[in-house]
Amino acid sequence: MIYYDKVSKVYPDKSVALDGVSFGVEPKEFVTIVGHSGAGKTTLMKMLIAEDWPTEGAVFFESSNIHKLNKRAMSRLRRRIGTVFQDYRLLQNKTVYENIAFAMEAAGRTDSEISADVPHVLELVDLGHKIWNFPKELSGGERQRVAIARAIVTQPDIIIADEPTGNLDPTNTYEIIRILQKINELGTTVLLTTHNKGVVDTIGGRVITMEKGKVVRDDKGGKYIL
Amino acid sequence: MIFTNFKRITRTGFVNFWRNGFLSFAAIVVLTISLLAIGAIIFSGAFGRALIADVKDKVDINVYFALNAPEQDILAVQADLDRLPEVASTTYISRDRVLAKFKMKWQDNALIMQGLDEIGDNPFPATLNVKARDPGQYGSIAQYLSNKNPAMSDGTPTIEKVNYEQNKLVIDRLSKIIPAVERAGLSIAVIMVLVAIIVVFNTIRLIVYTSKDEISVMKLVGASNIYVRGPLIVSGIMYGIISALITLIIMAAVAYWSDAVIMRFAGVEIASNFELVVNVLSRYFAQNFGQIFVIIMGTGVVLGALSSYIAAKRYLRV
C-alpha cells in the first residue's frame, strides 16, 4: 500500500534527516515508528502527505509516486489520509465543530453527513461539551483530541499520527491508543510515531525503530528497544 | 456539488470577515482611503473640466460687419461659419440689438446717452460672435474670414473687422496652458491610482500572510485550491463593497458641501460670473452617479478580490 524506496532527505544546511530508508506498509497494518528526537520520524510522515520532498528515492502510495502527482490527485490523496500533526495544526479562527466540519467539506461530504458525524466523532474523543469552543480556549490534550477527531472523521484509508500522545496524561494516552486500535480493527491502516514505551508495548504490533535517519530494526510484534 | 461548494465558500468568507474583525477593519480603512483618492481624481477632473470649459466659453472673437452690409450677406457668412468643423457656435447680433444693449448698459449715464442722441443714426455695426471648439482654432477661423470676405455690390468688403488680433495673446496662452493642465492632471491621476493599488495590494497581502499556516493546513487536509482561496476572495469582495459604499457617501457629502464652500470663498458675485463652476460637483455627482458608482464599486471589488487571489497564490504551493 505504501512503499518507501531508498528515501533520503538532506536539508540545505547539510543535516541528514533520512538516509536511504526503505520499507513497505501493508493495508490494515498498525505500524509504530519509534526513535529519539531527530531520528527522522516526523520527516518520514511528512513525505507521505507531500509536505516534504525526498532528496533521493521515492515514496509510493498504491504504486503512484506521491511526489509526482498533480494538484488534483494530490488533494484526493490527502483526503484518503487522516493526519494528526505533532503541533495539532488546528484552524485558529474556526470552532472545534468547524475544524472537523472543514475536513469533511474538503472531502465533499454533504451537510447532513457533516451535522451527523461531527458530534459523533467529538463524543468519541470525549469533547462533546467543547464543540463550540475555539482552539485557543482548549488545553493541549483537548487540542490533540480535536486533531485526532479531524483525522478520523472522514474515515480515511490511512491514519498517520505523529506523537499523538505527546501531551496527554496516561489515562488520555490509553484512550487515544484504544481509539486508534479500534479504527485499525475496522480496516484502517495506522502509522504512529511515539516516544512512549508503554504505548508501544500495549499495541504490540509491528515496530520500526529509527536512528539517525536510518531504519535500524523492523520487528513484527516488536517491543520498545532503544 | 458546485452549489454546495459555492455556499460553503461564501459562508466561510463571511464568517472569516467577522471573526477577523480588526484585520477587516484595517483593510476597509486602507481600501476606503485609496478609493477616496480615486474619487478625488474624478472630482478634480470634473471641476477642472468645468473651469476650463468656463474659460474657453469666455474666449471668443467678434466679426464686425460694414454698417451698410445687407442682413442676408451677414446670415450667409454665419451659415458658412456654422459649416466649419472648428466652429462651436455663432451668434448674430443685429445693429438694432447692439444699440438696444448699449442703451440698456448706459441708461443711467446721461452724457453717453446725450452723445448717442447727437449722432442720430445707429453707429454700431452688426456683430457675429464666434466661439470655436478649441481656443487654438481661432487663428484659422480669422484666416478663413479674411480670405472669404465677400464684396458688396459697391465693391467694399462686407466684413469690416475681426477682433482676433486683440484677443490673440490671451487665446494663444490659453491654448497652450489648457492642454498642459490636462496632461498634468492625467499624470497625477495615473500616479495616484498606481499608489492606491499598491497600498491596497500590500495590505491585503499582509492579511493573507497572517493566515498562511491555516492555508497550508487546509491544503494538507486535502482541500482543493479553490476551496482554500474562495473564502479569502469573498472576504476581499466584502472589503471592496463596504469601502466603496463608505467612499460614495463621503463623496456625496463632499460634493454638496463643496458648493457651499465655493460660494462662501468666491462670493456670490464672482461665483455667478463663473456660472458653470457653481454647483459643479453636486451637479456632476447627481448626473454621473451611475458611472461614479460603477467606477468606485468596481475598483473596490476588483482590487479586493484580485489582491486576495494573488496574495493567496504563494501560500497554496503546499
DSSP for B78-93, written as a single string: HHHHHHSTTEEEEEEE
Chain B residue at shortest CA distance from A108? B1
Q: Are residues B45 and B17 in the same domain?
A: yes
Q: Rounded to a whole number, what is the distance in Å from the CA of A76 to chain B's nearest CA?
A: 6
Which of B121, B148, B167 finishes a domain?
B167
Chain A residues with CB under 8 Å of B217 CB are 89-91
Start-to-end Cα distance in chain B? 25
Q: Cβ A102–B223 below 8 Å, yes or no?
A: yes
Please tell me the least confidently modeled range out of B104-108, B148-152, B215-219: B148-152
Pairing of strands A206-211, A158-162: unpaired
Contact indicator for A146, A138 with CB cutoff of 8 Å: yes
Chain A contact present for B283, CB below 8 A:
no
CA distances from B74 to B97, B123, B156 (A): 15, 17, 14
Q: Are residues B95 and B178 in the same domain?
A: no
Chain A residue at shortest CA distance from B317? A71
This prediction has a pTM of 0.76
Which of B134, B167, B200 finishes a domain?
B167
The whole-angstrom separation of Cα B172 and Cα B297 is 41
Say how many domains are in chain B: 2
Chain A residue at shortest CA distance from B217? A89
Chain B contact present for A102, CB below 8 A:
yes
Contact indicator for A144, A167 with CB cutoff of 8 Å: yes
Q: Are residues B182 and B265 in the same domain?
A: yes
Predicted complex ipTM: 0.85
Q: Are residues B179 and B41 in the same domain?
A: yes
The whole-angstrom separation of Cα B261 and Cα B241 is 30
The whole-angstrom separation of Cα B42 and Cα B185 is 11
Q: Are residues B64 and B206 in the same domain?
A: no
DSSP-assigned letter for residue B152: -
B10-36 exposure pattern, b = at least 16 Cβ within 10 A, e = fewer: eebbebbbeebeebbebbbebbbebbb
Tell me: pLDDT of B243 over 60: yes
CA dihedral A53, A55, A60, A65 (to 10 degrees): 80
Contact indicator for B248, B256 with CB cutoff of 8 Å: no
Q: Which domains does chain A have, with CATH numbers?
A: 1-80+156-226 (3.40.50.300), 90-155 (no CATH)
CATH code, domain with B126 = 3.30.70.3040
Chain A contact present for B64, CB below 8 A:
no
Q: Cβ A107–B20 below 8 Å, yes or no?
A: no
Per-residue pLDDT of chain A (226 residues), as tens digits, is: 899 999 999 999 988 899 999 999 999 999 999 988 888 898 999 999 999 999 999 999 998 999 999 988 999 999 999 999 888 899 998 999 999 999 999 888 999 999 999 999 998 888 899 999 999 999 888 898 899 899 999 999 999 999 888 777 888 788 888 888 988 998 999 999 988 888 888 888 899 999 989 999 898 876 776 6
Q: Are residues B234 and B305 in the same domain?
A: yes
Tell me: pLDDT of B309 over 90: yes
Which of B167, B197, B227 finishes a domain?
B167
Chain A residues with CB under 8 Å of B4 CB are 110-111
Q: Cβ B222–A108 below 8 Å, yes or no?
A: no
- Residue with cell string 477587516: B24
Q: B79 CB contacts (<8 Å, ≥6 apart)? A: none
Q: Cβ A105–B19 below 8 Å, yes or no?
A: no
Structural domain harbouring B7: 2-56+173-316
Please tell me the least confidently modeled range out of B43-52, B229-238, B290-299, B306-315: B43-52
